[in-house]
Amino acid sequence: MPRLYGEIPAPKAKKQAPAPKPAGRPILVYVHVPFCRSKCHYCAFHSQAFNQVTFAWYLKTLLAEIALWGHRLQHPRVTTLYFGGGTPSLFPLSALAQVMDALRANFAFEDGLEASIEANPDSACDVSFFRALLSFGFNRLSLGVQSFEDAHLALLGRPHNARQAVETFTLARQAGFGNVSLDLMYGLPGQRTNHWLEQLKSAVRLRPEHLSCYGLTPEPDTRLTRSLELGEFVLPEEREQSRMFVHGAEYLESEGYLHYEISNFARMGFACRHNQGYWQGRDYLGLGPSAVSTIGSRRFTNPRWMDAYDAAVRGNFAGLDFEELDAGTRLKELVLLSLRTVEGLDLKAYRKLAGRDLLKSEPALMQTLRQNDLIRVKKGRLSLTKTGMLVSNSIISRLI
């Protein structure tokens, strides 16, 4: 069966003349690739089946959008780049080279740019594929493993098996990727804490630089949620999921991984800079259907479907709705995003936006949270403890 990502070996990205010196603000760039082989049972993200006709339409429109934003933002300095989806590893390599060439021609890549791309074990199965990615300039790989148990992979609707996951990681290493992240899920049907710890041990044996561990969350209008509603299976009780989170975090920390964000762990120097930019409230540009951008005080979302996305790009985004982020919204997002991280909330930044001192204006709440070991305050920052992370939504809702 021919590979969807093109023939191997793939052409290298063409050398480009140096891009003009950046005149605009530094930004993060996210490229959404909305194609999948099939829809995972838990997934609520926008995606569609890969076909050559729709992909050609997508590629043409994406290249036009890149040129449009490069001009509008005056060749901004790109600090991080992230290709997500969907399944970016379905991207034909010759087309991926075109996109990277277009980005370099219209944006200024910062020295030391972190360039990440997501890949799935079923569509990234050749060492030459990973070598091509490196030649294009990608230096960080995120593998959608989710589980090392075939039964759970089938239940989730993942199109690969555990053996393929390990083989794909090995191929990426052989190609030369020195920064690899694995996505894993816990709280799966029938799973107990000891099973989750075995999953983490399987991951750690591979020695990835980064791990993202997400609790399974039933989303509306997904096959997983319909199965739960029909009683086909049940998720572990909340207390068991809490134990998975705490014991899993303790195990990874004992293996040298820093728990730098609620769902993310990294070896020293390998935290995902792109995601850190989101949590720090930096400007980001989203390219592709349904991609979201926040630049300055404005936020806008690209149309979800190809025909509307293509029309918006051809019309230079005239009439595209945007949200003006007022001080109240920015304050809520400051609290929401910063409390996900180990650094926590900068109390001086909070005071500047809110016009009040959080600790002094909410003394009873602060005392309760401290007495229950849910928060800590140190060096002008308020952060959540491990226990606090378990009830982060409740704490954040009380602070905003």
Asked whether 141 and 270 are in contact (CB, 8 A), the reply is no
Structure tokens given for 266: 């990294």
Region 327-399: CATH code: 1.10.10.920
Q: Are strands 210-215 and 298-301 parallel, antiparallel or unpaired?
A: unpaired
| Domain range summary for the chain, segments of one domain joined by + | 27-278, 327-399
Give pTM, 2 decimals.
0.91
Query: Coil, strand, or helix at residue 304?
Result: coil
Give residue 8's pLDDT.
Answer: 31
**Residue 15 pLDDT class (50, 70, 90 cuts):** very low
The third-level CATH classification (topology) of the domain covering 27-278 is pyruvate-formate lyase- activating enzyme (3.80.30)
pLDDT band per the 50, 70, 90 thresholds, residue 23: low
CA distance 202 to 396: 33
Q: Lowest-pLDDT range, 115-129, 172-186, 252-266?
A: 115-129
Residue with tokens 């960080």: 140
Where residue 14 falls among pLDDT bands split at 50, 70, 90? very low
Instruction: Give the CA radius of gyration of the chain.
Output: 22
